[in-house]
A and B are shown apart, each in its own frame.
Chain A
Amino acid sequence: MSESVAQGEHTGGMAGVAADWSSDQRAFKGVPWHKAMMWIFLLSDTFIFSCFLISYMEVRSTTTAVWPSSSEVFALTIMGNSIPLVLIAIMTFILITSSGTMAMAVRFGYQKNKNMTAFLLIVTALLGLSFVGMQAFEWTKLIVEEGVRPWGNPMGAPQFGSTFFMVTGFHGFHVSVGVIFLVITAVKVMRGSYDNERPGFMTGRKGSYQFVETMGLYWHFVDLVWVFIFAFFYLW
């Protein structure tokens, strides 16, 4: 490889990619280990969600019973009017907003602004928590009021309930795990673990504000997955 690449100067475009991949030490220059690992984990997780969604489409199109109409099932009665998809619109809005606060946290992190980073991480966590809360509300309504169960429901195909609980549950689990890690990250920011490079949680590696970005990758991914779930479960 040429001297210039080894010195860390970058050529752009395809030539740059080729130079990086044919170089020694690292294929992704300047990418810390935890970030590379997160990307690969997310790739694997993408396959999980794809399998879920494709399976959902498959059962939905092969089942013989009618599929309940999503605009009716997911309507809320507010002041006497039945408004379709209102809860889910709010949930989606909240989750997308949390992506924004997450991105801001990453930015303040790189500026080493401890207080703002921690604050925005907590805001993100709270938005995530309210998302999970509203999901719990939605589940309760479906189970208690509409009588939806994994094995059947009064409106039609039994697979409606099982796919819904399975896929939104799996996503909600991701959000919940994310909330826990957001809080942990916020605490570490406040403690100054990323300023004095204290070893990280479960990694033993030196702390750095780049962890905030890695956390952000996960969070944005979970949001992105929600967009697909939203489209396939509520709009179809």
Chain B
Amino acid sequence: MSTATTMHDETGHVPPAEVEEVELYHAKTWLGKYVFSQDAKVIAIQYGCTAIAIGMVGLVLSLMMRLQLGFPNEFSFINPSNYIQAVTMHGMIMVVYLLTALFLGGFGNYFIPIMIGARDMVFPYVNMLSFWIYLLSVLILVASFFVPGGPSGAGWTLYPPQVMLEGTPGHEWGAILMLVSLAFFIIGFTMGGLNYVVTVLQARTRGMTLMRLPLTVWGIFMATILALLAFPALLVSAIMMLFDMLLGASFFMPAIVSMGEQLDHSGGSPILFQHLFWFFGHPEVYIVALPAFGMVSDILSVHARKAIFGYRMMVWAIVAIGGLSFIVWAHHMYVSGMNPYFGFFFATTTLIIAVPTALKVYNWVLTLWRGNIHLTIPMLFAIGFIFTFVNGGLTGLFLGNVTVDLPLSDTLFVVAHFHMVMAVSPVLVLYGAIYHWYPKISGRMFHQGMAQFHFWITFVGSYAIYYPMHYLGLMGVPRRYFSMGSTDFILPSAQGLNEFITIAAIIVGVTQLLFIYNLVWSLFKGEKASDNPWNATTLEWQTATTPPGHGNFGKELPLVYRWPYDYSVPGEDIDFLPQNQPPRGAG
């Protein structure tokens, strides 16, 4: 095809349909339409609400930790045990049950079919089961708060032997429930994930080539593949750990003396768990990051009225990051005593992965350059993301080098790194994306003022929280500590910083309630949204109704004539050409 060499990819002709359309199952009852729904969009909202609800629990837990760190021993309801339990549950909830579920189960379900011009996922029934199993896994996780001994207190990394020793809170039931819950999460996710991948590969509309997919779809697609290949390691380690805990096996447990008693275990390898966990754990950070990369690309492009810079490069960077993310896992284990050559290998791959990542950052910035920038709410969040992500990426380079990492490992520096890069950045994109697509999903506009306030507090507040943590980490303040005791190397001024961070965290935390209030308020009181309020090109904005009904499009599926980034095309009267608009003079 002649346009292959130019980025502006437009064809006048769309190939004929390869397969006839299949009838969707239309539920007749209220229960079938809104509860046990097989419509990917309803499932998406169910996923989203569940994820945000459990995320609020994670938020409260983090404030609990901050209260103790900022004002040590002022609050009697926080003790060393429930402090470390809060650390553990906060981490696991945020990474797996909030971010993974919201990005893939929420945004994936809503936007994959509608952006590629499909009526639904390929197997809607399995897709529905995916949500219910996810909900079950969340309920099991929540149940661990109420069992004797409470939830696990081993840290979100669940390292053995600590996780099952008597001194660790939750070693009785909490850890077991956590592992069972993770196993269910993985099963549920797999059912959804298979759907997402096959839908992208095999169910696109006529004219929709892979190189015409919006980057949002590319990000979610690649993240889903990563998840399908990384979660197996977590599943296996969960099963093995359950063997150790319930059947007295010794996969991960060496011979060990606990509380003055020789335990029955012998000969196991705790390092094996670390390898399995991080073989999952590192791809997991990109499972969260790649959808954010994709969505932020689309938001930047729409609100700068300019094609994304280097679309193909952006796609290949996503693929390259996905591939590389499987061979860097041991950079989390530099202090585990592994062979120095291993450290060298993993430091090298770790630094290599920074190359495609940096490339994406350059392209985002170049997309803004000389764009017609509209500082809308989604755009503010997207630009905020660029700042926080660069910040976290740079500290990643420090940690990626073995010798620099050794003193920084297990300090607040690591906490600052991964919060900038994996917590704040994807969450900013999530907010931006929710504001961006809210008009399509709900049919109404959100309240501008509240959203502005939400952005500025969250963005500035995140810096207030995490910037000082870098200094604390460099000073050597360890992570996951209930209190510092009397240590010479921690200066008294550290306490002042900790207080400051806590106050900032409380302000930011409370502001998130305003966001939820805004969503609910706008649902009833918001201004009615038009079909395409941002003048965007991608297919989800071209639906006949807003919000789109079951089956997404009208009688006919849209035909795709062009790539998703035809903004401000020279010589055109309007500054955007939807993907389903034929070229002038064609047809």
Using CB atoms and an 8 Å cutoff, list the residues of chain A in contact with chain B: 1-2, 6-8, 21-29, 31, 33-34, 36-37, 40-41, 43-45, 47-48, 50-52, 55, 58-59, 62-65, 150-151, 157-159, 161-163, 166, 170, 202-206
Residue of A nearest to B267 (CB): A63
CA distance A185 to B370 in the complex (A): 60
10 additional contacts (CB under 8 A) given A40-B194, A159-B249: A24-B205, A25-B18, A33-B198, A33-B203, A43-B228, A65-B266, A65-B267, A158-B249, A162-B249, A206-B22
Nearest CB of chain A from residue B505's CB, rounded to whole Å: 37
Q: Nearest-CB distance from B201 to chain A (Å)? A: 5
Complex CA–CA separation, A64 to B267 (angstroms): 6
Give Cα A7 to B16, complex, Å: 8
Query: Please, which residues of chain B bring their CB within 8 A of the CB of A205?
Result: 22, 123
Cβ B1 vs Cβ A27 within 8 A: no
Tell me the B residues contacting A by CB distance below 8 Å. Answer: 1, 14-19, 22, 25, 38, 122-126, 129, 190, 194-195, 197-198, 201-212, 228-229, 231-233, 235-237, 239-240, 243, 247-251, 264, 266-269, 272, 276, 279, 560
Bound complex: CA of A187 vs CA of B356, how far in Å?
Answer: 52
Note all chain A residues with C-beta closer than 8 A to B190: 41, 44
Q: Is the Cβ of B198 less than 8 Å from the Cβ of A37? A: yes
Structural contact, B267 and A31, CB atoms closer than 8 A: no
Complex Cα gap A21–B213 (Å)? 13
| B276:A55 contact, CB within 8 angstroms | yes
Residues on the B chain within 8 Å of A62, using CB? 267, 269, 272
A36→B1 CA distance, assembly (Å): 28
- Report the minimum CB–CB distance from B402 to chain A (whole Å): 23
Q: Tell whether A25 pairs with B204 under 8 Å between CB atoms, given A48-B232, A203-B126.
A: yes
Closest to B4 in A: A22
Are B194 and A21 in touch, CB under 8 angstroms? no
Inter-chain CA distance A41–B126, complex, in Å, is 13
Contact partner of B15 among A24, A37, A65, CB < 8 A? A24
**Which of A1, A33, A50, A150 has a CB less than 8 Å from the CB of B1?**
A1
- B212 to chain A: closest residue by CB: A24
Q: Does A25 contact B208, Cβ atoms closer than 8 Å?
A: yes
Can you list 26 contacts pairing A with B, beta carbon distance less than 8 Å? A22-B209, A23-B209, A26-B19, A33-B202, A41-B194, A44-B194, A45-B232, A48-B232, A48-B235, A51-B232, A55-B251, A58-B269, A59-B272, A62-B267, A64-B266, A64-B267, A151-B247, A157-B267, A158-B267, A159-B249, A161-B249, A162-B243, A170-B239, A202-B125, A204-B38, A204-B124
Once A59-B272, A63-B267, A203-B126 are accepted as A-B contacts, the answer to whether A25 and B248 lie under 8 Å apart by CB is: no
Is the CB–CB distance between B272 and A159 below 8 Å? Answer: no
Q: A24-B209, A27-B201 are in contact. Are A162 and B247 (CB under 8 A)?
A: yes
Flag if B269 contacts A59 (CB, 8 Å). Answer: yes
Q: Given known contacts A25-B18, A62-B269, A151-B250, is B205 in contact with A36 (CB within 8 Å)? A: no
Top 3 nearest A-B pairs by Cβ distance? A6-B15, A151-B248, A162-B249
> Could you say which residues of chain B place their CB within 8 Å of the CB of A29?
18
Q: Which A residues are CB-close (under 8 A) to B233? A: 47, 51
Q: Are A162 and B250 in contact (CB under 8 A)?
A: yes
What is the chain A residue whose CB lies nearest that of B279?
A51
| Of A6, A47, A170, the contact of B16 (CB 8 Å cutoff) | A6
On whether the beta carbons of B249 and A21 are closer than 8 Å, the reply is no
Contact A25 B267 (CB under 8 A): no
Asked whether, in the complex, the Cβ of A37 is within 8 Å of the Cβ of B122, the reply is yes
* Cβ 8 A contact of A55, one of B125, B195, B211, B236: B236
